[in-house]
Amino acid sequence: MNQLKRLFGVIWILLGPVAIYYLVKTAAGEIAKKPMTDTWIQWGVFVVVALPIAAGMVIFGYYALHGAYDQGVEDSGELIH
């Protein structure tokens, strides 16, 4: 199970930049089609909101890859009895 968590860590690390790439590519295409102020604002907000989400995906993947989530709840001696 820990190997699967680490594999998904790599997937999360790769998914963050890929998502931002496609979002920026889509935003640029939509702004090119309709270069009005409201389009710039709309897509600017989308990109600004998505950037920290993608960064969080990369950070989550980094920790998963390095084994921060290897210990499950059933393994913890700190549970309340």
**Length reported for the chain:** 81
Q: Is 79 contained in some domain?
A: no
Using the Cα atoms of residue 33, residue 39, residue 43 and residue 44 in order, give the sign of their dihedral.
positive
The model's pLDDT over 56-80, given as tens digits with 9 standing for 90+, comes to: 999 999 999 988 887 766 655 665 6
The model's pLDDT over 19-29, given as tens digits with 9 standing for 90+, comes to: 999 999 999 99
Owning domain of residue 8: 2-68
Which residue matches tokens 């907000």? Answer: 45
The model's pLDDT over 30-49, given as tens digits with 9 standing for 90+, comes to: 999 999 999 999 999 999 99
Q: Where are the alpha helices (DSSP H) in the chain?
A: 2-33, 37-65
Which residue matches tokens 């790599």? Answer: 10
pTM of the complete model beyond 0.85:
no
Q: Is 45 contained in some domain?
A: yes
Q: How many structural domains is the chain composed of?
A: 1
